Amino acid sequence: MPSRTTRSKRPATLALAAVLATTLGLTGCSVDASSATPETKTFPYTGKTLKLKTHEVATKVITADREDIKVTRWFDSKAGNTRLKWELKDDTLEIDAGCSGLAICDAKFEVEVPKGIAVTKDDVELEKK
């Protein structure tokens, strides 16, 4: 015989499962940042090193013939609370994009840096080009 605690948790668990199934069924299960409209932002920069914090978001770093830092972001979301961030403070560029809660989203970034700048991405030094 199930305990009183087990029986009282069962309706809440079933209700949560129903909400998840309905949400996923209505919104579809996939999103693709590649098909999202890109957004760009540039940051003036005169430093010789750059620390890039990506919060595990797919990020490609490219050296380019430029004097500033250019960030391009692709983000697609169908559900959830969005968390978008791209800011430069001193020598650290922090980028983040994601969802929380009942979430379905995808993101990717491309960061163009001037030639000759040493870049660390999530505490790993990248090869200088």
- Using one digit for the tens of pLDDT, what is the confidence trace for 13-41? 545 444 444 444 444 456 777 778 899 99
- The residue type found at 98 is G
Say what the pTM is. 0.72
Indicate if 72 and 106 belong to the same structural domain: yes
pLDDT band, residue 112 (cuts 50/70/90): very high
Indicate if 21 and 41 belong to the same structural domain: no
Taking the alpha carbons of 12, 13, 14, 16 in that order, is the dihedral positive or negative? positive
Distance CA 85, CA 26 (A): 28
Indicate if 19 and 71 belong to the same structural domain: no
Number of domains in the chain: 2
Indicate if 56 and 106 belong to the same structural domain: yes
Indicate if 93 and 51 belong to the same structural domain: yes
Indicate if 75 and 116 belong to the same structural domain: yes
